[in-house]
Amino acid sequence: MRLEPANLAAAVSWAATAVGIGLWLWSWFGARDRILKLRFYDCGMVLVFTSVLLRVLVVRGPPFNGLDWLLLAISPVFIAAALWRLGRTGPSQNGSQ
């Protein structure tokens, strides 16, 4: 089997989805601190939605259906919101807590 860019992108996309779902599960069941729960959840959201975008845009399959168009439209909004919240809940920039 030849390693082609589309196959590699699909494999990386599915791996990122698995890691993102793992982070979601860890945020729900493993993390005790509220801020850490939020950060794990946001990191998982970024990974899952980014991998969905990668699969929809790069790994072309059958023609787009309604769900594909919906995910294509809302994924950037969720990614931007999660990254913004990650920036807001991160360690302070000046070093003091």
Question: What integer pLDDT is reported at residue 45 of this predicted model?
Answer: 92
Q: How confident is the model at residue 2 (pLDDT cuts 50, 70, 90)?
A: confident
Mean pLDDT confidence for 29-41: 90
What angle do helix axes 34-57 and 66-89 make, rounded to 10 degrees?
150
Q: How far is CA 4 from the centre of its chain?
A: 23
Considering the entire predicted model, what is its pTM?
0.79
Helices (H) and strands (E) in the chain, counts: 3, 0
CA–centroid distance for 94 within its chain: 28
- CA angle 46–77–50, rounded 5-degree value: 30
41 and 83 in contact (C-beta within 8 Å)?
Answer: no
57-96: per-residue pLDDT in tens? 887 777 888 887 888 888 899 999 999 999 888 876 555 5
**94 DSSP 8-state letter:** T
Helix (H) or strand (E) holding 64: none
Cα separation of 45 and 55, whole Å? 15
